Structure 1
């Protein structure tokens, strides 16, 4: 009996340190956007460092809430990772009856990257920069219809804030993801809107969309010729997006630290730097404590903006 007890004690460290051999990377958005592209760049690089198979899995819907809820209810064993963006800050102030709590049920691993949003328009709309867009909308408010990837999304909030600053009353048209939003612009449903650089880049290259401005305080390295919104008459305007990793609350701290370290090392690989820059991603992997503080600030800011803009789901 004593031998069995001693054997059990010697096995405890190995059991406590056991890591999953397969890790699901749940991506909160559909294929093709910045979040998905980053997830698929990240998965094999994290796998090499963790000694586990990391499998990307898209679970889109409700501004990231579908994926967040799924991960929140997953086993906290280090085998499920959530790759999400700014909805982590917006949805708590906007959505009710989710069945989980963002702050209580999800634990931060690390911020991965920040990224700008790009204000774009159809070339046929006849505007080439922000002042021309504002002039056109003031002259004919019927054209003040803009698309986004959903109510309360960063693309929605950025456009609503832009029109408010410009003194224009706009009509919001939500779509089911960035690809649908861009197709809506190309069809002529809406003449303009904010989107990601990843989705806009090929359409800018072939002339099907025109870049009018960058949402962040500094210009995008991939499009240095495109002025920021702030440079074009709206000083202080800055509405970007970001991408982060989270896990179910209760995941061991050692597992979180290991995941954060693997993600930071993967984001620092020289070979992927040009691919990240091409879609506007600026690496920012600084661990769980930094992400916890960042989320607290972002959630407070988004709650204030949502209240000011009277953004509602109904």
Structure 2
């Protein structure tokens, strides 16, 4: 018997042909996404939900609850019964919101049980074709020669892209003009038109512009190169370590969800992320499947919340 099958039996999760205890899940499971349909988090949720539902023996129904940088949906999950039938696929705003939004009716640090980092969406620095830099080092030299003159668009204030621009300025000792948009595709559009000098957005959002010849990648803000554009060096490879800030999505449950349910959900997610069809679908979305243990994900979230809080306060970041 495999380790996975033993773990499922230990939690009472049914498998075909196996006698088990009372099922852990007795009705459809809500997978709440605190962002709009069609976005990165929503697309990732819909990529994993069908197979996870099969493994858990109940449908995973994706629901979108948008607003206030994801905190409206977060509040809905925080108020939900901690019985394993409500989950949330949240993004990097999860670690930024606590320092950004005042008066939240819940505490991000205590309201949720982190289950796993599901996938990452690598971000990259790209510039318009006429920008006089072919490498990251040349971009930094231009920024130092013209402080406050170079414009970089992102998917919005307090997003992973905005945090990436702040980290770039901090690590490189430069000053650029941050131009927030309502999404990565909007920033990419203005890069294509030449209205922006560059963008700091996901590789997926920037790729069509670059492939059309209206943009040029200089570096990926990730620990390793992106599978979508493997020829583009990481920031560390390009000579600037410390700029690793990808967009990500992770799975959470309400705090207090019983351990057997959490273990079963984690096992189902792990198996789902290992399946070729799911991995192919996520890669097609520009997402790199990850899958981490609950302990590792908890440490990731805790560390990220502290780091982002320091950046938000130091740069006086505001939502609008």
Q: Same fold (TM over 0.5)?
A: yes
1 CA distance for matches of 2:182 and 2:84? 30
CA offset digits 1:144-179 (Å, max 9, x no partner): 222223322211111112123333322222222333
Report what 2:103 is aligned to. 97
The change in CA–CA distance for 1:191 and 1:64 in structure 2 (over 3 A counts) is farther
Q: Is the 8 A contact 1:63 1:87 kept in 2?
A: yes
The one of 40, 61, 66 aligned to 2:46: 40
- Residue 144 in 1 paired to residue 150 in 2? yes
With the length of structure 1 as denominator, give the TM-score of the two structures: 0.83
Alignment-derived partner of residue 36 in structure 2: 30
Q: When the two structures are aligned, how many residues end up with a matched partner?
A: 301
What is the CA distance between 1:125 and its match in structure 2? 4.0
CA contact (8 A) 2:47 2:282 kept: no
DSSP-derived class of the 1:259 partner: helix
**Aligned with 1:301: secondary structure?**
helix
Q: 1:239 aligns to what?
A: 245
1:301 is the counterpart of 2:307 = yes
Q: Give the 3 Å change call, closer, same or farther, for CA 87–215 of structure 1 in structure 2.
A: same
Seen in structure 2, the aligned counterparts of structure 1 residues 62 and 209 have a Cα distance that, compared at 3 Å, is: farther
Higher helix content, 1 or 2: 1
Name 2:223's counterpart in structure 1. 217
Unpaired segments ≥5 residues, structure 1: 1-13
Mark the runs of 5 or more structure 2 residues left unpaired by the alignment: 1-19
Does residue 1:82 correspond to 2:88, yes or no? yes
Other-structure match for 1:19? 25
Aligned residue in 1 for 2:119: 113
The residue number in structure 2 matching 1:5 is: none
Q: 2:275 aligns with which of 254, 269, 276?
A: 269
Contact 2:283–2:289, Cα closer than 8 Å, also in 1: no
1:251 is aligned, of 257, 267, 277, to 257
Secondary structure class of the residue paired with 2:126: strand
- Give 1:18 deviation, angstroms: 5.1
Q: TM-score, normalised by structure 2?
A: 0.82
2: CA distance, partners of 1:174 / 1:44: 35
Partner of 1:7: none
